[in-house]
Amino acid sequence: MAESRPRVWVSQPLFDDVIGQLGQYFDLTTTVDVAAYSSAELSERLAPLDGALITLNERIGAREIAHAPRLRAIANVGVGYNNLDIAALSAAGIVATNTPDVLTETTADLGFTLLMAAARRISDAERWLREGQWGQWSFQNMLGADIHGATLGILGMGRIGQGIARRGAHGFGMRVLYHNRSQLPAQTEQALGAQYVDFDTLLAQADHLVLVLPYTQDSHHIIDAAALAKMKASATLVNIARGGIVDELALADALSNGRLAAAGLDVFEGEPAVRSELLALRNVVLTPHIGSASLATRRSMVQLAVDNLIAALGEGASAGHPPSAINADAITAAKAGGATVGATKTGATKR
């Protein structure tokens, strides 16, 4: 009797033509609506699967994979993967993948868009106009901060941070300072026009500070009341990384008390919920996690996730070598244990 094909599930509607490629290799279950799955629902969904293609909406750790003995691959559509417990997945021999590179420039564009919109008060000005408040043109109305020639601070200097730096230094003639876990090679710094500084110097000197660092235990609320107090009162803060990096109540307090001029936020700690304290403010530009949301880039992200899943499940031209595996060590361990990444695992080899 012919062996049944591996089963994969796609957690929300994502470009049918791209997702459809999975049907060439797998029994594919797609999803018609965007849903918020509970941990129990995810556990039930994952139980019969060999692989899943998911988004940041799905939080997957030990509990969610506990009853999924066949599960071998989780392809995350997104570069950030704080929704995945990588240690738990690795321990279970499950390959996790993400979608770096393809979204770098689009996300850097959005970072710069938010910076400019916040600094030049675009949301506030548009709202004011729509409210019919434009009686007379007034010279001193809606005065914002300059971007050209200002000091741009970047916290987190990975690919997206470097994209922001290039835009700032080469597009707007900005002085670019950055802080990162490690300093970039001098040649890279020179090409970007960026200078490494310590965290406090970054806070103190930036006219516009963009957060682009991964969300980890160490970066949780790294921008808190104390950090905000070190920033210029005239400064702009932009967060395109993850909401939990900023203490939002402290930020709302600083914005409403004149201790920070403006903010642009694309990510929120409790998203999709946004704190009423932020919603009430006019000097913050709020967008619903659209950093990578251009049509071309979102399609590329889904294509990369599909390629990852096909390869992680041992199919296609790159079988066993997903283009962007996060836990390559798990792949190596699986191979050392005698299984190829694409081979069907038994419960015994898995846990």
Catalytic residues: 242, 271, 289
For residue 6, state whether it binds ligand DGY (rule: CB under 6 A). no
Whether 225 contacts 176, CB under 8 Å? no
- Choose which of 103, 202, 212, 252 interacts with ligand DGY (CB under 6 A): 103
Which tokens in the block code for residue 335? 């191979």
The DSSP letter of residue 223 is B
Which tokens in the block code for residue 138? 């007034």
117 versus 241: smaller Cβ distance to ligand DGY:
241
For residue 324, state whether it binds ligand DGY (rule: CB under 6 A). no
Which tokens in the block code for residue 291? 């950093």
Which tokens in the block code for residue 202? 């970054």
Residues 135-194 that bind ligand DGY (CB under 6 A): none
Q: Binding residues for ligand DGY, how many (CB under 6 A)?
A: 7
The residue range among 76-84, 115-123, 149-157, 225-233 that interacts with ligand DGY, by the rule CB under 6 A, is 76-84
291 versus 316: smaller Cβ distance to ligand DGY:
291
Phi-psi region of 220 (alpha: psi -120 to 50; beta: other; left: phi over 0): beta
Cβ neighbors of 132 (< 8 A, separation 6 or more) are none
CB burial string 178-217: b at 16+ within 10 A, e below: bbbeeebeeeebeebbbebbeeeebbebbbbbbbbbbbee
Tell me, residue by residue from 28 to 57, as one string, x for binding to ligand DGY by CB under 6 A and - for no binding: ----------------------------x-
97 versus 174: smaller Cβ distance to ligand DGY:
97
The distance of closest approach from Cβ of residue 18 to ligand DGY in the complex, given in angstroms and rounded to an integer, is 15
The distance of closest approach from Cβ of residue 56 to ligand DGY in the complex, given in angstroms and rounded to an integer, is 5
The residue range among 41-49, 72-80, 143-151, 342-350 that interacts with ligand DGY, by the rule CB under 6 A, is 72-80
| Angle at the Cα of 15 from the Cα atoms of 11 and 20, rounded to 5 degrees | 80
Helices (H), ranges, the chain: 16-19, 39-46, 62-65, 86-91, 104-119, 122-130, 159-166, 172, 186-192, 199-205, 225-230, 248-256, 276-279, 295-312, 328-336, 347-350
The residue range among 78-86, 88-96, 114-122, 334-342 that interacts with ligand DGY, by the rule CB under 6 A, is 78-86
- Choose which of 292, 303, 324, 327 interacts with ligand DGY (CB under 6 A): 292
Gap between the Cα atoms of 350 and 94, Å rounded: 8
103 versus 147: smaller Cβ distance to ligand DGY:
103
- Choose which of 46, 52, 79, 306 interacts with ligand DGY (CB under 6 A): 79
The distance of closest approach from Cβ of residue 229 to ligand DGY in the complex, given in angstroms and rounded to an integer, is 28
Residues lying near ligand DGY in the complex (CB under 6 A) are found at 56, 78-80, 103, 291-292
